[in-house]
Amino acid sequence: MSISFKDKVAVVTGAGAGLGRSHAIFLASRGAKVVVNDLGGSLDGTGESKSPATQVVEEIIAKGGQAVANFDSVAAPETAQNIIRTALDNFGTVDILICNAGIIRDKIFWKMPLDDFDLVMKVHLMGAVYTTRAVLPVMKEKKYGRIVTTTSAAGLFGNFGQTNYSAAKMGIIGFMNSLKLEGQKYNILINAIAPLAATRFGEPSGIFHEEIKPFLRPELVTAMVAYLCSAQCQITGDILSAGGGYFSRVQIVEGEGIRFDPKHDVTPEMIHENLSRIIDMQNSVGFFSITDELNKSLGPLVRG
Protein backbone atom coordinates (compact mmCIF):
# COMPACT_ATOMS: atom_id res chain seq x y z
CA MET A 1 0.00 0.00 0.00
CA SER A 2 1.29 3.42 -0.96
CA ILE A 3 -0.08 6.41 0.91
CA SER A 4 -0.85 9.22 -1.51
CA PHE A 5 -2.11 12.76 -1.05
CA LYS A 6 -3.09 13.27 -4.67
CA ASP A 7 -5.99 15.74 -4.95
CA LYS A 8 -5.68 16.64 -1.26
CA VAL A 9 -5.07 20.18 -0.04
CA ALA A 10 -2.97 20.71 3.06
CA VAL A 11 -2.33 23.77 5.20
CA VAL A 12 0.87 23.64 7.28
CA THR A 13 1.48 26.46 9.74
CA GLY A 14 5.00 27.40 10.74
CA ALA A 15 6.25 25.65 7.61
CA GLY A 16 9.16 27.93 6.77
CA ALA A 17 11.73 25.83 8.64
CA GLY A 18 12.26 22.74 10.75
CA LEU A 19 9.39 20.35 11.27
CA GLY A 20 6.83 22.39 9.35
CA ARG A 21 9.09 22.62 6.32
CA SER A 22 9.64 18.86 6.43
CA HIS A 23 5.90 18.19 6.65
CA ALA A 24 5.07 20.53 3.76
CA ILE A 25 7.76 19.17 1.44
CA PHE A 26 6.82 15.56 2.12
CA LEU A 27 3.08 16.05 1.58
CA ALA A 28 3.79 17.89 -1.66
CA SER A 29 6.09 15.07 -2.79
CA ARG A 30 3.16 12.67 -2.36
CA GLY A 31 0.81 14.83 -4.44
CA ALA A 32 -0.74 17.29 -1.99
CA LYS A 33 -1.32 20.93 -2.85
CA VAL A 34 0.19 22.78 0.07
CA VAL A 35 -0.26 26.17 1.69
CA VAL A 36 3.09 26.95 3.30
CA ASN A 37 2.32 29.34 6.14
CA ASP A 38 5.03 31.17 8.05
CA LEU A 39 5.19 34.64 9.57
CA GLY A 40 8.96 34.47 9.26
CA GLY A 41 9.68 35.74 12.75
CA SER A 42 12.42 34.85 15.19
CA LEU A 43 12.19 32.16 17.84
CA ASP A 44 10.65 34.58 20.33
CA GLY A 45 7.99 35.69 17.86
CA THR A 46 9.46 39.07 16.95
CA GLY A 47 9.98 40.24 13.41
CA GLU A 48 8.55 39.15 10.09
CA SER A 49 9.97 37.88 6.82
CA LYS A 50 8.48 36.40 3.67
CA SER A 51 11.69 34.55 2.83
CA PRO A 52 11.21 31.29 4.79
CA ALA A 53 7.77 30.43 3.39
CA THR A 54 8.71 31.62 -0.10
CA GLN A 55 11.85 29.48 -0.16
CA VAL A 56 9.92 26.35 0.84
CA VAL A 57 7.33 27.01 -1.88
CA GLU A 58 10.10 27.47 -4.45
CA GLU A 59 11.68 24.20 -3.35
CA ILE A 60 8.37 22.35 -3.70
CA ILE A 61 7.67 23.81 -7.14
CA ALA A 62 11.22 23.04 -8.31
CA LYS A 63 10.53 19.39 -7.51
CA GLY A 64 7.30 19.40 -9.51
CA GLY A 65 4.89 19.97 -6.63
CA GLN A 66 2.18 22.55 -6.04
CA ALA A 67 2.36 25.09 -3.24
CA VAL A 68 1.59 28.70 -2.34
CA ALA A 69 2.95 30.82 0.47
CA ASN A 70 1.04 32.58 3.22
CA PHE A 71 2.63 35.01 5.67
CA ASP A 72 -0.18 35.56 8.20
CA SER A 73 0.06 35.01 11.95
CA VAL A 74 -1.90 32.18 13.54
CA ALA A 75 -2.32 34.23 16.72
CA ALA A 76 -5.48 36.16 15.79
CA PRO A 77 -8.84 34.97 14.41
CA GLU A 78 -8.74 37.26 11.38
CA THR A 79 -5.24 36.34 10.24
CA ALA A 80 -5.86 32.64 10.91
CA GLN A 81 -8.90 32.92 8.67
CA ASN A 82 -6.67 34.43 5.98
CA ILE A 83 -4.47 31.34 6.08
CA ILE A 84 -7.41 29.08 5.30
CA ARG A 85 -8.72 31.55 2.72
CA THR A 86 -5.40 31.25 0.90
CA ALA A 87 -6.06 27.54 0.45
CA LEU A 88 -9.64 28.11 -0.69
CA ASP A 89 -8.68 30.85 -3.15
CA ASN A 90 -5.85 28.86 -4.70
CA PHE A 91 -6.98 25.24 -4.42
CA GLY A 92 -10.71 25.35 -3.67
CA THR A 93 -10.78 23.33 -0.47
CA VAL A 94 -8.84 22.07 2.55
CA ASP A 95 -8.46 18.42 3.56
CA ILE A 96 -5.54 18.61 5.98
CA LEU A 97 -4.49 21.07 8.66
CA ILE A 98 -1.17 20.72 10.48
CA CYS A 99 -0.90 23.13 13.42
CA ASN A 100 2.84 23.48 13.78
CA ALA A 101 3.53 27.21 14.28
CA GLY A 102 5.14 28.15 17.56
CA ILE A 103 7.52 30.39 19.46
CA ILE A 104 9.44 30.12 22.71
CA ARG A 105 10.09 32.64 25.49
CA ASP A 106 11.72 30.55 28.18
CA LYS A 107 12.29 31.87 31.68
CA ILE A 108 11.75 30.63 35.21
CA PHE A 109 8.12 31.38 36.07
CA TRP A 110 8.57 33.95 38.84
CA LYS A 111 10.86 35.95 36.57
CA MET A 112 8.73 35.60 33.45
CA PRO A 113 6.83 38.68 32.25
CA LEU A 114 3.16 37.76 31.94
CA ASP A 115 3.20 39.18 28.41
CA ASP A 116 5.63 36.38 27.52
CA PHE A 117 3.25 33.83 29.01
CA ASP A 118 0.28 35.29 27.15
CA LEU A 119 1.99 35.43 23.76
CA VAL A 120 3.25 31.84 23.89
CA MET A 121 -0.25 30.68 24.84
CA LYS A 122 -1.73 32.72 22.02
CA VAL A 123 0.59 31.37 19.33
CA HIS A 124 0.60 27.70 20.35
CA LEU A 125 -2.82 27.07 21.88
CA MET A 126 -4.97 29.80 20.38
CA GLY A 127 -3.14 29.49 17.06
CA ALA A 128 -4.34 25.90 16.86
CA VAL A 129 -7.82 26.98 17.98
CA TYR A 130 -8.12 29.83 15.48
CA THR A 131 -6.89 27.89 12.44
CA THR A 132 -8.97 24.84 13.34
CA ARG A 133 -12.07 26.98 13.83
CA ALA A 134 -11.48 28.56 10.42
CA VAL A 135 -11.12 25.24 8.61
CA LEU A 136 -13.88 23.25 10.30
CA PRO A 137 -16.79 24.56 8.18
CA VAL A 138 -15.00 23.34 5.05
CA MET A 139 -14.24 19.91 6.50
CA LYS A 140 -17.70 19.55 8.02
CA GLU A 141 -19.35 20.34 4.69
CA LYS A 142 -17.31 17.71 2.83
CA LYS A 143 -17.45 15.24 5.73
CA TYR A 144 -13.71 14.75 5.66
CA GLY A 145 -10.77 16.24 7.47
CA ARG A 146 -7.47 15.38 9.08
CA ILE A 147 -6.07 17.73 11.73
CA VAL A 148 -2.70 17.25 13.42
CA THR A 149 -1.84 19.45 16.38
CA THR A 150 1.63 19.72 17.89
CA THR A 151 2.10 19.09 21.59
CA SER A 152 5.39 18.51 23.40
CA ALA A 153 7.00 16.34 26.03
CA ALA A 154 7.43 19.62 27.93
CA GLY A 155 3.67 19.90 28.21
CA LEU A 156 3.07 16.22 28.83
CA PHE A 157 5.80 15.79 31.43
CA GLY A 158 7.18 19.25 32.29
CA ASN A 159 10.39 21.15 31.60
CA PHE A 160 12.26 23.70 33.71
CA GLY A 161 11.79 27.27 32.52
CA GLN A 162 8.88 26.52 30.19
CA THR A 163 5.68 27.04 32.18
CA ASN A 164 4.17 29.09 29.35
CA TYR A 165 5.13 26.64 26.61
CA SER A 166 4.15 23.62 28.70
CA ALA A 167 0.75 25.08 29.60
CA ALA A 168 0.02 25.81 25.96
CA LYS A 169 1.10 22.37 24.81
CA MET A 170 -1.02 20.61 27.43
CA GLY A 171 -3.92 22.90 26.59
CA ILE A 172 -3.76 21.58 23.04
CA ILE A 173 -4.42 18.09 24.42
CA GLY A 174 -7.56 19.24 26.21
CA PHE A 175 -8.70 20.97 23.02
CA MET A 176 -8.13 17.80 21.02
CA ASN A 177 -9.82 15.53 23.56
CA SER A 178 -13.16 17.25 23.15
CA LEU A 179 -12.89 18.10 19.46
CA LYS A 180 -12.30 14.44 18.61
CA LEU A 181 -15.80 13.67 19.92
CA GLU A 182 -17.40 16.52 17.98
CA GLY A 183 -15.60 15.72 14.73
CA GLN A 184 -16.11 11.96 14.49
CA LYS A 185 -19.61 12.25 13.03
CA TYR A 186 -18.18 14.17 10.09
CA ASN A 187 -15.09 12.01 9.55
CA ILE A 188 -12.92 14.79 10.93
CA LEU A 189 -10.09 13.16 12.85
CA ILE A 190 -7.70 15.07 15.10
CA ASN A 191 -4.51 13.79 16.69
CA ALA A 192 -1.48 15.29 18.41
CA ILE A 193 2.18 14.75 17.64
CA ALA A 194 4.80 15.10 20.37
CA PRO A 195 7.92 15.57 18.21
CA LEU A 196 11.57 15.24 19.08
CA ALA A 197 13.79 16.76 16.41
CA ALA A 198 16.96 18.80 16.18
CA THR A 199 15.46 22.09 14.99
CA ARG A 200 16.12 25.69 15.99
CA PHE A 201 13.68 25.25 18.92
CA GLY A 202 16.25 23.13 20.71
CA GLU A 203 19.19 25.42 20.06
CA PRO A 204 18.79 27.91 22.96
CA SER A 205 18.63 25.19 25.60
CA GLY A 206 21.39 23.09 24.08
CA ILE A 207 19.26 20.06 24.88
CA PHE A 208 20.74 17.91 22.10
CA HIS A 209 24.36 16.80 22.02
CA GLU A 210 26.02 17.25 18.65
CA GLU A 211 26.58 13.52 18.22
CA ILE A 212 22.87 12.69 18.32
CA LYS A 213 21.60 15.53 16.13
CA PRO A 214 22.02 13.53 12.89
CA PHE A 215 19.62 10.96 14.32
CA LEU A 216 16.98 13.57 15.12
CA ARG A 217 16.08 14.64 11.60
CA PRO A 218 12.65 16.29 11.23
CA GLU A 219 11.84 13.82 8.45
CA LEU A 220 11.66 11.03 11.03
CA VAL A 221 8.81 12.89 12.73
CA THR A 222 7.13 13.70 9.42
CA ALA A 223 6.54 10.01 8.70
CA MET A 224 4.07 9.85 11.59
CA VAL A 225 2.51 13.22 10.82
CA ALA A 226 1.93 12.19 7.21
CA TYR A 227 0.24 9.00 8.32
CA LEU A 228 -2.05 10.94 10.67
CA CYS A 229 -2.96 13.18 7.71
CA SER A 230 -3.85 10.29 5.43
CA ALA A 231 -7.17 8.72 4.50
CA GLN A 232 -5.75 5.44 5.79
CA CYS A 233 -5.56 6.86 9.31
CA GLN A 234 -8.69 6.04 11.29
CA ILE A 235 -7.54 6.87 14.82
CA THR A 236 -8.57 10.06 16.55
CA GLY A 237 -7.73 11.75 19.84
CA ASP A 238 -4.34 10.08 20.19
CA ILE A 239 -1.03 11.55 21.29
CA LEU A 240 1.88 10.11 19.31
CA SER A 241 5.48 10.59 20.33
CA ALA A 242 7.94 10.59 17.44
CA GLY A 243 11.64 11.26 17.15
CA GLY A 244 14.93 9.58 16.30
CA GLY A 245 13.13 6.59 14.78
CA TYR A 246 11.11 6.03 17.97
CA PHE A 247 7.32 6.03 17.86
CA SER A 248 4.92 5.50 20.73
CA ARG A 249 1.47 6.36 21.96
CA VAL A 250 1.24 8.60 25.01
CA GLN A 251 -1.90 8.45 27.11
CA ILE A 252 -3.38 10.15 30.14
CA VAL A 253 -4.33 7.28 32.43
CA GLU A 254 -6.08 6.73 35.72
CA GLY A 255 -5.00 4.31 38.42
CA GLU A 256 -7.11 1.52 39.84
CA GLY A 257 -7.68 3.56 42.99
CA ILE A 258 -9.67 2.57 46.05
CA ARG A 259 -13.25 3.17 47.06
CA PHE A 260 -14.44 4.24 50.50
CA ASP A 261 -18.07 3.75 51.43
CA PRO A 262 -19.70 7.09 50.45
CA LYS A 263 -22.38 6.60 53.10
CA HIS A 264 -19.71 7.52 55.65
CA ASP A 265 -17.33 10.45 55.98
CA VAL A 266 -13.82 10.28 54.54
CA THR A 267 -11.05 11.96 56.55
CA PRO A 268 -7.59 13.25 55.61
CA GLU A 269 -6.18 10.58 57.91
CA MET A 270 -7.84 7.89 55.81
CA ILE A 271 -6.29 9.41 52.70
CA HIS A 272 -2.87 9.42 54.34
CA GLU A 273 -3.16 5.80 55.45
CA ASN A 274 -4.23 4.64 51.97
CA LEU A 275 -2.13 7.00 49.85
CA SER A 276 0.14 4.28 48.47
CA ARG A 277 -2.89 2.48 47.03
CA ILE A 278 -4.49 5.70 45.77
CA ILE A 279 -1.42 6.76 43.78
CA ASP A 280 -0.47 3.26 42.59
CA MET A 281 -0.52 3.11 38.78
CA GLN A 282 0.09 -0.61 38.30
CA ASN A 283 -3.35 -1.33 36.86
CA SER A 284 -3.95 2.06 35.25
CA VAL A 285 -6.26 2.49 32.27
CA GLY A 286 -6.97 5.19 29.71
CA PHE A 287 -10.34 6.57 28.65
CA PHE A 288 -11.68 7.86 25.35
CA SER A 289 -14.03 10.35 26.98
CA ILE A 290 -15.27 11.65 30.32
CA THR A 291 -18.22 9.28 30.03
CA ASP A 292 -15.88 6.30 30.18
CA GLU A 293 -14.09 7.74 33.22
CA LEU A 294 -17.37 8.44 35.02
CA ASN A 295 -18.53 4.90 34.36
CA LYS A 296 -15.44 3.66 36.19
CA SER A 297 -15.48 6.12 39.09
CA LEU A 298 -19.22 6.48 39.64
CA GLY A 299 -20.71 3.47 37.88
CA PRO A 300 -20.60 1.20 40.95
CA LEU A 301 -22.61 3.78 42.89
CA VAL A 302 -25.32 3.86 40.24
CA ARG A 303 -25.39 0.09 39.94
CA GLY A 304 -25.64 -0.20 43.72
pLDDT tens figures, 77-103: 999 999 999 999 999 999 999 999 999
pTM: 0.94
Indicate the residue type of 304.
Answer: G
Cα 65 from Cα 222, distance rounded (Å)? 17
Q: What percent of the chain has pLDDT over 70?
A: 96
Tell me, what's the pLDDT at 209? Answer: 66
pLDDT at position 298 is: 82
165 is catalytic: yes
Asked if residue 297 has pLDDT above 90, the reply is: no
User: What is the predicted pLDDT for the residue at 6?
Assistant: 97
Domain 9-250 class in CATH: alpha beta
Given a contact cutoff of 8 angstroms between Cβ atoms, the answer to whether 83 and 35 are in contact is: yes
Q: How confident is the model at residue 286 (pLDDT cuts 50, 70, 90)?
A: very high
Written as one letter, the residue type at 206 is G
Dihedral sign for Cα atoms in the order 144, 150, 151, 152:
positive
User: Residue range 104-122: average pLDDT?
Assistant: 97
Q: Which residues contact 204 (CB under 8 A, 6 or more apart)?
A: 43, 104, 106
> Residue range 54-66: average pLDDT?
98
Find out whether 260 and 251 touch, Cβ atoms under 8 Å. no
d(CA 183, CA 175): 12
Q: What angle do CA 200, 12, 38 make, to 5 degrees?
A: 55
Select which of 130, 165, 186, 246 is catalytic.
Answer: 165
The type of residue at 37 is N
- Is a pLDDT exceeding 90 seen at residue 214? no
Q: Stretch 211-222: mean pLDDT, rounded?
A: 88
Whether 205 has a pLDDT exceeding 70, the answer reads: no
With bands split at pLDDT 50, 70 and 90, how would you rate the model's confidence at 251?
A: very high
Of all helices (H) and strands (E), which one includes residue 240? Answer: strand 239-243
Domain ranges of the chain: 9-250, 254-303
